[in-house]
Amino acid sequence: MQKLEIENSECIFVGEITAVSDDLTYEIVVIESLDGGDLQGNVYIGQNWKYCSPYVEEKGTWLVYGGMENGFLKMNICGISRAFDKPIAPPSISNKTTIGRKTEMTEEEFYTAFWKERRIDLADEIIALRRRRDRKFKKASR
């Protein structure tokens, strides 16, 4: 899914949601460009999809795959953009969980392990995007 997101994204970055409005919009500041296309500190007004994820509801840090549409940043519909605090992705990624299969766990233990796995997946994805970006710029500078 990441390959598809990369191919269909105008911009890929880590951003901080600094404000959320009742009208489906939010403000996001670029922390780190992961495709080399955005400057740190760029501010976008994003717009949520009405009926599909990802859906921004509160302030926080996000991995964003998206593009501009009618003057708004729109995260790819039903894509893998996600918040750092609860980095849930669509089922094709999230269903690969390995926790809870071999031993009995309490609900609290299960969710603690589940979110730990999701955060590791997110960190690995960001590392892969940084490597891709760095290779791209290394080739361009030759």
Residue 13, both tokens: 């970055």
Fill in the DSSP letter of residue 8.
T
Fill in the DSSP letter of residue 112.
H
What is the model's pLDDT at position 78? 87
CATH of the domain at 22: 2.40.50
Instruction: Specify the pTM.
Output: 0.85
- pLDDT tens digits, 16-50: 999 999 998 999 999 999 999 999 999 999 999 88
R_g of the chain computed on alpha carbons: 16
Domains of the chain: total: 1
- Residue 43 near residue 29, CB atoms below 8 Å: yes
Residue 43, both tokens: 């501010």
Domain range for 25 is: 2-140
- pLDDT tens digits, 80-102: 999 999 898 654 444 455 555 55
**Which amino acid is it at 46?**
G
